[in-house]
Structure 1
């Protein structure tokens, strides 16, 4: 039996730590800002409507460039793309922290979103290429999943601490030493890759179409809370995004060197896992956003208390993603782990849909958060592994970008729909002369119940669409005896000798 040399194992572990550290910085930044928004509004004189652009400017750039950045990693080298994105993100963080005006902060946040998209889009592709062995890949994806799912809760806590203890500027300044250290270590520890060359997919027109479509689509979703789903603004911009997307797909079907080869969607797991992931995040995103509002506006929690309240979710996700999830996925297969995990998420959201106006954290909130932590800690790694199992090594950056776009768009759609439902229900109850707390609770209950139903649809589709490519059972060959072979979809399937 051939063992991986210790030096190689150590170098790959260090590379994984560097990649996860860079990803954690980006995930934290996406959430840390939310806690500081009231302070930023007061300091820079934002109106309520303009304040949203502190978040929206980042999300539009981030969501719009993920797919393009992922493909660029395949073409010109993922290490190069990762380091360039990291440099842009770190420099933009300094710019954000030094902002003294509204325009300066919004522009800096847009540039920060560009850097975040470019660097994060290739991370997952680098991880699966770095760890081709099923057992080690499961552990590596578990670490990635912890950063992605648990980082949001940690961001709330960090945002509360920095904003209250120092100032809002430090939620951006804290990225500087981390970004510089990750870039320095990444340049040294990450293996250089040349990519397959721009000649294999330099589709400039396709890049412009998909970037414009995603940016306009994300913008449309973010503004539905201001204009409504049936407004001319939403319909007009939404239709524009769909037309651009249709033009992009048509071009990819006939282009000699497409930016997004449509053949990758022939993989049942890649297509199905991304669909289920979108539904899971569309439902689960509400536990953080609406849960924070419930704790703040109904139970009277301050930012630091909100961060501490969600800390158990991060702890549970961390333990399961890093320890239990790789073992369970390797032993039973990702699909067998995924479905019960989604059931936990459904149950957790259903419990939040019953939280009362005079609720208590230990009895009305914590049990739901525990279920959500268990579900998220097990479901996210399983879905990511299934999605990436349908990509060839030369397409892993693209598949990574697709997974990231799925997360961004699924979360954005879910947040837009759930926030609109909650606001509409609350306004109706206020119009019926209900008390403020009762009206807020009514809106949150409807949103959480809807979220639970959305994840339930995802669980049904998981049963129908997904299949486990591999599973290690007692008596099977070890990881290093597994050989990659090509399947009919161009994907890599692992079989045992």
Structure 2
């Protein structure tokens, strides 16, 4: 399938700017409220459970609905889905910024996730058809991947600035600026593309995967109170059964929500798994870094945001280097070594102490984490979509995004359970700085184990020559299924 953007090369780079801006807003919204949570909790009288759901509601709705959103984008047109998603995201952000009660804020965050689930796969699919081959595609995906990799940390910085100098509500209202730019720019520089063939939606598949992912994430969120609780076990089992049902349905329906060929490929499946682990770290583990900076080291919102800067700066500095290395060494070495570097950074963070100096205990660890995640994100977006037929571009990009968001939701829940076990179930205000720091340290150890697992996944699943793994480095993306 062709896009008229290829007939107007001068517009494709502006399209990259618009689409990267979209990626930034949906990723940073996973973390921008983190630093503002203490003030939002006080202003709206949120319970600790509601506080966690301010983060989880967004990631859960986003991740659970991405497959459906990707298919809808394929059918109604990716540009149309992009614009609808942008406008809906803006409306939900406005509602959240004006929320007067805790449940309203949680609901608004869920609605943001719903529209992000339409917006994000449309953006990535548009990027795929706009840059279908060669060096330009490699550069475009490197930019997009860098934005994806740094968006979470940028969200913490921006959240700190807005909370310190304006109000926590601006962590939601600032999205209106992105929406105006995105809608105006998208209307001008993006060209419509849509999948060919049947436009029937797989309702059974949509229900089973959405309820399955929701049950799974909710089960993990209940693990904070104990893994052996009946509700925790029940929802985890229900989630597994529903996802099994989803696979069964997809193997039998004529027009599946997720054609199994998209995930059955070993290399692409490995990329999706690594994407999930990356989401667990960038969405889940960074929350506890924020808590340590504010609750233990006593930093204000702005100072805590600035203190997170070494992570995105390291990733952005590495990005052009990794981009040049990609055609030379291929994605596999990056995806094996990158997670190990990130694991070293996270393990270093586990050694934090209540009186430790930031420049000694935290900044070097964040640099290592940023370098490692840079080696992960630069090849990952491209690899996850390599060889995907144009008809499946939207759903494949949805899986890539869904993996990161669901990984973030599950990661946050697992790390919260590790933290809760370390503090013995006590509230944060009831625990001294030594025990609090020790609990944060255990979450970083768990996160480092996640990254080692990502390296193993890359070593065992991402196999093949450079041309086989990334045909887009010099060839057209194959259209055969």
TM-score, L = length of structure 1? 0.88
Using the TM superposition, name which of 106-115 and 392-401 deviates more: 106-115
CA distance in 2, matches of 1:478, 1:86: 29
Number of paired residues? 474
2:218 aligned with 1:219 = yes
> Which among 447, 454, 462 is matched to residue 451 of structure 1?
447
2:433 aligned with 1:440 = no
CA contact (8 A) 2:50 2:106 kept: no
CA contact (8 A) 2:279 2:408 kept: yes
* Cα displacement (A) at 1:147: 1.7
The answer for the alignment partner of 1:40 in structure 2 is 40
> Which among 395, 400, 403 is matched to residue 406 of structure 1?
403
* Cα displacement (A) at 1:237: 1.8
* Cα displacement (A) at 1:224: 2.6
Q: How does 1:21-32 map to 2 (within 5 A)?
A: 21-32=21-32
The answer for the alignment partner of 2:373 in structure 1 is 376
Runs of 5+ unmatched residues, structure 2: none
CA contact (8 A) 1:267 1:390 kept: no
* Cα displacement (A) at 1:99: 2.0
2:416 aligned with 1:419 = yes
The answer for the alignment partner of 2:134 in structure 1 is 134
CA contact (8 A) 1:320 1:377 kept: yes
Q: Which digits, 9 at most, give the CA deviation of each residue in 1:280-312, with x for residues without a partner?
A: 443555541222222223222222111101112
CA contact (8 A) 1:269 1:390 kept: no
CA distance in 1, matches of 2:282, 2:43: 32
CA distance in 2, matches of 1:391, 1:95: 37
CA distance in 2, matches of 1:101, 1:244: 33
What SS does structure 2 have at the residue aligned with 1:277? helix
What SS does structure 2 have at the residue aligned with 1:223? helix
TM-score, L = length of structure 2? 0.91
CA distance in 2, matches of 1:428, 1:202: 44
> Which among 304, 307, 312 is matched to residue 306 of structure 1?
304
The answer for the alignment partner of 1:114 in structure 2 is 114
Q: Per the alignment, do residues 248 and 46 of structure 1 end up closer, same or farther by CA in structure 2, a change over 3 Å counting?
A: same
Q: Per the alignment, do residues 22 and 212 of structure 1 end up closer, same or farther by CA in structure 2, a change over 3 Å counting?
A: same
2:290 aligned with 1:292 = yes
Using the TM superposition, name which of 341-350 and 364-373 deviates more: 341-350
CA contact (8 A) 1:125 1:396 kept: yes
CA distance in 2, matches of 1:19, 1:42: 36
CA contact (8 A) 2:63 2:405 kept: yes
The answer for the alignment partner of 2:475 in structure 1 is 482
CA contact (8 A) 2:415 2:446 kept: yes
* Cα displacement (A) at 1:16: 0.8
CA distance in 2, matches of 1:483, 1:28: 32
CA contact (8 A) 1:125 1:400 kept: yes
Q: How does 1:64-463 map to 2 (within 5 A)?
A: 64-197=64-197, 199=198, 201-225=200-224, 227-283=225-281, 285=283, 287-321=285-319, 323-427=320-424, 436-463=432-459
CA distance in 1, matches of 2:358, 2:405: 29
CA contact (8 A) 1:331 1:471 kept: no
CA distance in 2, matches of 1:405, 1:6: 28
Using the TM superposition, name which of 125-134 and 184-193 deviates more: 125-134
Q: Per the alignment, do residues 132 and 116 of structure 1 end up closer, same or farther by CA in structure 2, a change over 3 Å counting?
A: same
Runs of 5+ unmatched residues, structure 1: 491-497
CA contact (8 A) 1:316 1:370 kept: yes
Q: Per the alignment, do residues 420 and 388 of structure 1 end up closer, same or farther by CA in structure 2, a change over 3 Å counting?
A: same
Q: Per the alignment, do residues 362 and 25 of structure 1 end up closer, same or farther by CA in structure 2, a change over 3 Å counting?
A: same
* Cα displacement (A) at 1:435: 8.1
CA distance in 2, matches of 1:408, 1:229: 22
The answer for the alignment partner of 1:14 in structure 2 is 14
What SS does structure 2 have at the residue aligned with 1:482? coil
Q: Which digits, 9 at most, give the CA deviation of each residue in 1:363-386, with x for residues without a partner?
A: 111111111111111211222222
